Amino acid sequence: MRKNKIKNLTGILLCSLVLLGTLAGCGNRSSSSKAAKGDFTVYYLNQTKTSLYPVRVKLKEKTTPEKINFLISKLSTAVEDADYTNPIPGSVSVRHTTLKGKKLVISFSRDYQTLNPVQEALLRGAVVKTLIQLEGISSISFKIVDEALLDAQGSPVGAMTEGSFVDDFGSEQDSAREAQLTLFYPMSDGSGIYREVHDVHYNENVPLAQVVLRQLGKNPEQSKAQAAIPSNVKVLSVNTSGGVCYVDLDQSLFSNETLGYQKMTIYSIVNSLCQLDQINRVQILIGSGDGASILASDDLSNTYAADDSLVLNQ
């Protein structure tokens, strides 16, 4: 029978996660408490895949199996965010789960064995710390296909519980922030801009204005609106000084769009940024170096102020 051993962890720093029992003298500090109803923390990986990155989510599923499937899907699905990513990579799949009483067994595909020690430890920590929050689960065991996961000495890892991991997230956990942003997107017909409120998670080391622009590059919920910043346009820099936010884009926002649509695209950006406390006006720069040009406005300073009259859903 093929053994499913975890590769030797000797000499490898597990960055932000240490398995209890691996280091002598570690305290039995609980890693998470049972979540409030409908309010859960999903443990992703940070952008460098060296630490867990906690993100709060709302859980609407009713039964424990439905909640398990939802959370595993979250942990497995690629995330469109620059700050964190899914801990279960695309090469590894969850074959099935079995819940007996409050003991959950998760069977992974054989590709689990290709993970390096740090990847494996972080994946295991993310899965356990996420799913152990469910009221219907007291322990979690891992299998590779139908065989127990073994440690470096060839012994079964066994069931993992709420106290199986010691947290040491350092600045990554401290820097994880949540914000509610009011964003505006241009209507496809150029008739105005559409207001949406988005809950976002971001790293506090990233300027909130940059988070706003990142969100404006994604498709809005309103089907008749569009992303304010096309996917082929990159934000070179974002700086705020004296109440003015200076946005430098690598190329024009427009190609053959109508003047009406161009105006709505500009004010989607301007109105969104001006929702932030420290920003009153916005200047948009196209290009870099000697060839850069400022997007002209009616103001002598070539800056834009928010225009609420363009908002269709006040």
Q: Dihedral sign, CA of 301, 302, 303, 305?
A: positive
In sequence order, the 6+-apart residues with CB closer than 8 A to the CB of 198 are: 180, 181, 183, 215
pLDDT tens string 65-99: 999 999 999 999 988 777 889 999 999 999 999 99
Q: Residue 219 in 3-state DSSP?
A: coil
Is pLDDT larger for residue 238 or for residue 27? 238
Lowest mean pLDDT among 15-29, 173-187, 217-231: 15-29
In sequence order, the 6+-apart residues with CB closer than 8 A to the CB of 66 are: none
What's the pLDDT band for 279 if we cut at 50, 70, 90?
very high
Q: How many Cβ atoms sit within 10 Å of the Cβ of residue 198?
A: 15
Highest mean predicted confidence (pLDDT) among 166-170, 224-228, 250-254: 224-228
Q: Is the pLDDT of residue 13 over 90?
A: no
Q: What pLDDT, on the 0 to 100 scale, is given for residue 163?
A: 67
Residue 56, strand partner residues: 41
Q: What pLDDT, on the 0 to 100 scale, is given for residue 18?
A: 41
pLDDT tens string 109-149: 999 999 888 888 889 989 999 999 998 899 999 999 989 99
Tally of residues, the chain: 314
Q: What is the mean pLDDT of residues 223-247?
A: 91
Mean pLDDT of the chain: 81
In sequence order, the 6+-apart residues with CB closer than 8 A to the CB of 178 are: 56, 199, 200, 201, 202
Q: What is the mean pLDDT of residues 53-67?
A: 88
Answer whether 5's CB lies under 8 Å from 152's CB: yes
